[in-house]
Structure 1
Amino acid sequence: MEYVQERITTLHDFGGAAGASTVPPADAVAETAVVVPMAGREHGSPAAERVLSELETLEPAPAAVIIPVRADADRIGPFREWLESFALPTCVLWCNAPAVDELLTSADLANGFGKGRDVWLALGPAAAAANYVVVHDADARSYEAAHVTRLLAPLTMGSAFSKGYYARVEDERLYGRLFRLFYAPLIRALETSHDAPILDYLGAFRYALAGEFAVTADLARQLRTPRAWGLEVGTLGDAFDYAGFEGTAQVDLGYHEHDHRVVAGEAGLEGMSREVAGELLRVVEERGVDPEYTTLREQYRTAGTRLIDQYRADAMVNGLTYDPASERDQLDRYVDSIAPPGPDRRLPRWRDAPFETAAVLEAACLEPERRGCRTGLELLDSSAQD
């Protein structure tokens, strides 16, 4: 058991040793919109089924469960029917609907897509419908409804941003590879040459690439969301500006069992590392860090090699299987991702968006009279009246 506090508030899971938690207040969930992005492969998957079934147990129910879905036209109907079979205030957004593409094109925002863009489409309606927004991935086979309340707890105590962290140990192996072998050593490499608050902030998170976080509605409107896999890092940069160290917390969510990606290729961790690198380096450059790219790659290798030695020792003492050669191979694959960030393709803050959130609901919901999208529109109407 450990009690270490980072530069940001760190809320541990002490296994109920001190009794049942009394935060957040029961009505906080009723003031929360939960966003769960899904891709076509998650239709009917055991992990997504668990996430939604767990959300059904929340009492009171969330104000809304907004599910941005990326699926082919011939699959979105059955997908939506499955999602709406759960006893939740569900609003399904078809993120690649033709009307959504037309809406974004008309606003000159149709420059690429991915997980980040899908979450952005949901953040506007979520912030309009509730005081708090919680975002969860749908691929955690160990998901619990308590993750929502734990992430909400810091917000009800004055924080504006709350990030989940958890152990990635499965099949007697260490996972969380992109964080362990790319993000963490890259931050350490930058710290060897730069002393900057943004690096202290980025280095304080125990799992900076976790997909689980919570924000106040106001902060949700401030996020300039990257379009793809840089979502998590880009969110940290905006949270640093808005919430800072004092308004940020991280929350222990125990153990997570996730689906795992292959390493090689654009669809694997290798491709994701380029997205993460671009946004991470953009975040630090915008906040006063001027990386020396001619030496940064070698500094990254040095930091990564040292971490591999540390991971090996940790694995051995815990009886885990560990393959240092495979981990070093990943360093070699990721190193080429370290380069000056490319063109800025982030989406605008919702406070500056060129259209209203209702336009997204109208464009992304097939047959708006159906229960899910009607719920979302009614929530927006009621929030406007309030």
Structure 2
Amino acid sequence: MEYVQERIATLHDLTGAAPDAPTGRSAVVVPMTDREYAGRAAERVLSTLADVDPERVVVALRAPPERVRPFREWLDGFDFDADLLWCNGPAVESLLADRGLEGDHGKGRDVWLALGVAAAGSEFVAVHDADAKSYAPTHVPRLLAPLAADYSFSKGYYARVENDRLYGRLYRLFVAPLLRSLDDAHDDPVLDYLDAFRYPLAGEFAMTADLARSVRAQPSWGLEIGTLGETFDRVGFEGSAQVDLDVHEHDHRAVSGSDGLSGMAEHVGAALFRVLEDQGVAVDYDAVRERYREVGAAMVDQYAADAGFNDLAFDRAAEREQVRTYADAISTPGPDRRLPAWTDAPLAADEVVAAAERALESAPDAADGVALDD
């Protein structure tokens, strides 16, 4: 057990106490894809969320047309009323294209849509994924509790340990050594801010509705890092907190492939370097890439020692290979594809709701022979 504070307020689970939280004044956003349909982790998350009883639940769904109606029927079986946003529904896509927001698709855009809808009707908004096998009824209240204590932003952190192994590879082997490498080369407050978060890639966070309406969003896997860049600008160290969510067991991804960790690293890296570009930090990418390889290799040795200390399995060669793979993601961020803050967006939340409802009404029945748990 430890109780070390970071540059931001760090709230530990020291006693198992249930903190006071504004749950009844909060909306919970849950981004999902059709692959979570009827999965055990998603079943646990949604069943537990019914016991948490927030003011509102907004499920941001990305799914092909033939899977939407069965998904909606499955969602209706839980003991709460959820607002279902079919984020890639034809009417929603048409609305966004009409307003010049067609851009990249992905989790970030889905969360951005849901944040606008949730913040329009609730004082606070919490966001969390639906793939946590270890989801507990304390998670949402813990995320929200700092907001009742005058913080504007709260992020979860946790250990990724499962099947007698260390996980959290994209953070451990890419983001953490990259931040350390950048900090070696630059003395800038934004790097201190990013490094103060113990798990900056956590999908669990909460913010005031005012803040939710004022942040820009990366449209894909760079959402979490991009959001931290926005909160640094708007509320800084003093307005930010992080909360202990214990140990998390999540779905795992392969390293290779566009949907694997290497593809995600490209989005995360681009989002991180966009944050630095916003703050005027001039990065020497070749030098940082070389330094990252050195730091990453040293951190693999540290993780190996930690795994051995805890009698966990550890594949040092595979982890070193991942460091070499992720180094390719260290490059200029490319075009700025961020979605605008809702305060500046060329559409309103009620238009998104109306378009999502039209999309749901037009969704076809599931195609013959299509199994939702393929």
Question: For the Cα contact (< 8 Å) 2:86–2:359, is it kept in 1?
Answer: no
Seen in structure 2, the aligned counterparts of structure 1 residues 322 and 15 have a Cα distance that, compared at 3 Å, is farther
Contact kept in structure 1, 2:19 and 2:141, CA below 8 Å: no
Once residues 92 and 5 of structure 2 are traced to their aligned partners in structure 1, the CA distance between those partners, rounded to angstroms, is 43
| Correspondence for 2:46 | 52
Q: Which amino acid aligns with 1:147?
A: H
The aligned residue for residue 87 of structure 1 is 79
For the aligned residue pairs, the C-alpha RMSD in angstroms reads 1.1
Please say if residues 266 and 329 of structure 2, whose CA atoms lie closer than 8 Å, have aligned partners that are also in contact: yes
| 2:197 aligned residue | 205
* In structure 1, C-alpha distance between the alignment counterparts of 2:225 and 2:19, rounded to whole Å: 31
- 1:238 aligned residue: 230
- Tell me the TM-score normalised to structure 2 length: 0.95
CA displacement 1:21-50 (0-9 Å, x = unmatched):
3422xxx11100000000010111111111
The equivalent of 1:375 in structure 2 is none
The correspondence for 1:43, drawn from 37, 41, 44, is 37
Q: How far is the alpha carbon of 1:366 from its aligned partner?
A: 4.4
SS at match of 1:162: strand
2:86–2:360: 8 Å Cα contact kept in structure 1? no
Out of 171, 195, 199, which is 2:187 matched to? 195
Write out aligned runs for 1:294-309 (5 A).
Answer: 294-309=286-301
Match of 1:21?
Answer: 18
Report the equivalent of 2:65: 73
8 Å contact from structure 2 (residues 254, 261) kept in 1: yes
Partner of 1:352: 344
Q: 1:244 to 1:49 in 2, by over 3 A?
A: same
Looking at structure 1, the residues matched to 78 and 234 of structure 2 have their Cα atoms a distance apart, in angstroms, of: 35
2:46 counterpart letter in structure 1 = L
Shift of 1:367: 7.6
SS of the equivalent of 2:59 reads: strand
Instruction: Compute the displacement of 1:285 (Å).
Output: 1.5
* Aligned counterpart, 1:63: 55
Closer/same/farther in 2, CA of residues 366 and 49 from structure 1, 3 Å limit: farther
Matched letter for residue 328 of structure 2 = D
In 2, are the aligned partners of 1:208 and 1:233 still within 8 Å (CA)? Answer: yes
- In the TM superposition, what is the alpha-carbon distance from 1:301 to its structure 2 partner? 0.6
SS at 1:129 equivalent: coil
1:6 corresponding residue in structure 2? 6
Partner residue of 2:283?
Answer: 291
3-state DSSP of counterpart to 1:68: strand
1:15, CA displacement in angstroms?
A: 4.0
**What SS does the aligned partner of 1:192 have?**
helix
Instruction: Indicate the residue corresponding to 1:252 in structure 2.
Output: 244
For the Cα contact (< 8 Å) 1:62–1:89, is it kept in 2?
A: no
Q: TM-score, normalised by structure 1?
A: 0.92
- Aligned to 2:150, what secondary structure does the other structure show? coil
1:157 to 142, 149, 154: 149
Are residue 171 (structure 1) and residue 163 (structure 2) matched? yes
1:330 maps to 322
Select which of 215, 220, 228 maps to 2:207.
215
SS where residue 358 of structure 1 aligns?
Answer: helix
In structure 2, distance between residues paired with 1:213 and 1:14 = 20
Deviations 1:98-123 (A, max 9, x none): 10111011011101100000001101
The secondary structure found in structure 2 opposite 1:77 is helix
Q: Percent identity, aligned pairs only? A: 57
Deviation at 1:368, TM superposition (A): 7.6
**CA displacement 1:197-221 (0-9 Å, x = unmatched):** 0000000111000100000001100
Q: Displacement, 1:86?
A: 1.2
Whole-angstrom CA distance in 1 between matches of 2:111 and 2:258: 21
Stretches of 4+ aligned residues off by more than 6 angstroms: none
Give the secondary structure class of the aligned counterpart of 2:185.
coil
What SS does structure 1 have at the residue aligned with 2:296? Answer: helix
Give 1:286 shift: 0.8
What one-letter code is carried by the residue in structure 2 that aligns with 1:340?
Answer: T
Output the amino acid matched with 2:20: V
Deviation for aligned residue 1:87: 1.7
Residue in structure 2 matched with residue 106 of structure 1 by the alignment? 98
Gaps of 5+ in 2: 362-374
Structure 1 letter corresponding to 2:14 = F
Gaps of 5+ in 1: 370-386
Cα distance in 1 for residues equivalent to 2:184 and 2:72 = 49
**For residues 253 and 21 of structure 1, what CA distance do their matches in structure 2 show?**
12
Kindly tell me the number of residue pairs found equivalent between the two proteins: 361
Whether contact under 8 Å (1:63, 1:129) holds in the other structure is no
Query: SS of the counterpart of 1:241?
Result: helix
